DNA sequence: ATGACTGCAAAGCCTTTGCACGCAA
DNA sequence: TTGCGTGCAAAGGCTTTGCAGTCAT
């Protein structure tokens, strides 16, 4: 109970965009649907590939524009997945989220969750004079395959 | 006692480079000296400006090359300070380090330390099958000036 | 003398922007 | 009909690479 589903996110994204005054369009709809099916961060170029294979294909610029809009509305979180490349993943309405371990050898992303880490971050956020709206933790090293 | 100083870092950097078979050169020496004087992350282009003003000036390519070498030797940590731009800061030998709150309005970096956060990260590192060599925490939001 | 170090310019890569056309409202 | 949404191509910004000259060892 109370568990957010992927379709919930897509629904919320459409509603939020609508409330923000955005119209409907095929490209952005395709981007939203694709993001709804991801389990972890995906880059703009990976998204472009994915959309070219399955659906009709979406212009690269439209993908970047959609990602930026969704990020600004708090529906996506942007993280750096490799030198100079950004990945995006859904922000769930219930605040549930994970962080990433990134393998410096193969670039693989391993997601993990940790409640005491979250607690520690909340406490830090409370004691510094800075209005924290989001946070991100990255562990770097070698994954079990590359070790 | 036991407190690492900036010159210690520069000294260690020179020794580590030497041990790794690198020769001495003016450009890299200037980069090391400049980094030794920084309190927080600095980008390659900021470093270029800094060096052009004070000393003789160092080619951009040499700066990037030096930063990469120092990072690979574990003497620098690379962090994304803004969309698509990397900042570098010293890695101290005693493991002492800070993390950053980044203002989404003005881009300012506010460093902070937190021991319980470090403890939580160590525990996470211990329980996932991933060989963690470094970690990074970023808080995003508004700084007190922009709030 | 040998090969690393450096600087300049050119190329790369991801991302953003300009512009004309199409579609939602 | 209005002007947002889209796609293509071009431009941007940071970073890397090729190459010839210089300097450390």
CATH classification at residue A116: 3.30.1490.190
Q: Are residues A79 and A118 in the same domain?
A: no
What is the number of structural domains in chain A?
2
Q: Are residues B135 and B104 in the same domain?
A: yes
With 0-12 / 13-18 / 19 or more C-beta atoms within 10 angstroms meaning exposed / middle / buried, residue A15 is exposed
Q: State the nearest residue by CA to the C1' of D7.
A: A59
Residue A111's domain comprises 98-147
pLDDT for A105 equals: 87
What CATH number should be reported for the domain holding residue B1? 1.10.10.10
Q: Are residues B4 and B47 in the same domain?
A: yes
Q: Across residues A15-32, what is the average pLDDT?
A: 97
Question: Are the beta carbons of B144 and A130 separated by less than 8 Å?
Answer: yes
Q: What pLDDT is attached to residue A1?
A: 58
Q: Are B79 and B113 members of one domain?
A: no
Same domain for A73 and A121: no
**For testing the chain B interface, which of A77, A97, A130 should be mutated: the one with the most B CBs within 10 Å?**
A130
**Same domain assignment for residues B79 and B135:** no
Which nucleotide's C1' is closest to A60 (Cα)? Answer: D7
Report d(CA B134, CA B71) in Å as an integer: 12
| B63 vs A55, residue with greater confidence | B63
- The H or E element containing residue B90 is strand B85-90
Contacts of A135 in chain B (CB under 8 A): 137-140
Convert the pLDDT of each residue in A40-90 to its tens digit: 999 999 999 999 998 778 999 999 999 999 999 999 999 999 999 999 999
Q: What is the pLDDT of residues B17-57, one digit of tens each?
A: 999 999 999 999 999 999 999 999 999 999 999 999 987 79
One domain, residues A85 and A133: no
- What pLDDT sits at residue A3? 64
User: What is this structure's pTM?
Assistant: 0.93
Band (A4; pLDDT cuts 50, 70, 90)? low
Q: Do A120 and B125 touch (CB under 8 A)?
A: no
Q: Which of A2-6, A59-63, A107-111, B89-93 has the lowest mean pLDDT?
A: A2-6
Average pLDDT over every residue of B3-12? 82
Q: Answer whether any strand D atom is within 7 A of the Cβ of A22.
A: yes
Phi, psi of A116 (to 5 degrees): -75, -30
**CB of A73 nearer than 7 A to strand D:** no
Average pLDDT, chain B: 94
Q: Are residues B33 and B63 in the same domain?
A: yes
Question: What per-residue confidence (pLDDT) applies to B142?
Answer: 94
* Burial track B58-85 (b if 16+ CB lie within 10 A, e otherwise): beeebbbebbebbeebebbbbbbbeeee
Residue B2: pLDDT above 60? no
> In this complex, how many residue pairs, one in chain A and one in chain B, have their CB atoms less than 8 Å apart?
111
Average pLDDT rounded to a whole number, residues A32-42: 96
Nearest CA to CA, how far is A81 from chain B (Å)?
Answer: 11
- The mean per-residue pLDDT over the stretch A113-136 comes to 96
Give the relative orientation of helices A26-36 and A44-53 as an angle to the nearest 10 degrees.
100
Of B1 and B84, the structure prediction assigns the larger pLDDT to B84
Q: Which one has a higher pLDDT value, A107 or B66?
A: B66
The confidence score (pLDDT) of residue B147 equals 83
Return the bridge partners of A102, or none: A109, A140
A145 touches strand C (CB under 7 A): no
Q: Do A111 and A141 lie in a common domain?
A: yes
């Amino acid at each position: 109970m109370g568990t957010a589903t992927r379709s919930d996110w897509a629904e919320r994204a459409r509603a939020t965009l609508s409330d923000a005054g955005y119209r409907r369009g095929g490209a952005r709809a395709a981007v939203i649907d694709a993001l709804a099916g991801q389990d972890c961060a995906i880059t703009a170029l990976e998204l472009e590939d994915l959309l070219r294979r399955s659906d009709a294909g979406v212009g690269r610029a439209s993908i970047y524009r959609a990602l930026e809009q969704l990020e600004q509305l708090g529906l996506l979180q942007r993280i750096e997945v490799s030198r100079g490349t950004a990945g995006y993943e859904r922000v769930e309405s219930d605040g549930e989220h994970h962080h990433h371990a990134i393998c410096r050898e193969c670039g693989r992303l391993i997601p993990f969750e940790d409640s005491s880490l979250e607690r520690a971050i909340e406490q830090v956020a409370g004691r510094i004079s800075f209005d924290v709206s989001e946070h991100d933790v990255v562990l770097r090293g070698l994954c079990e395959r590359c070790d």
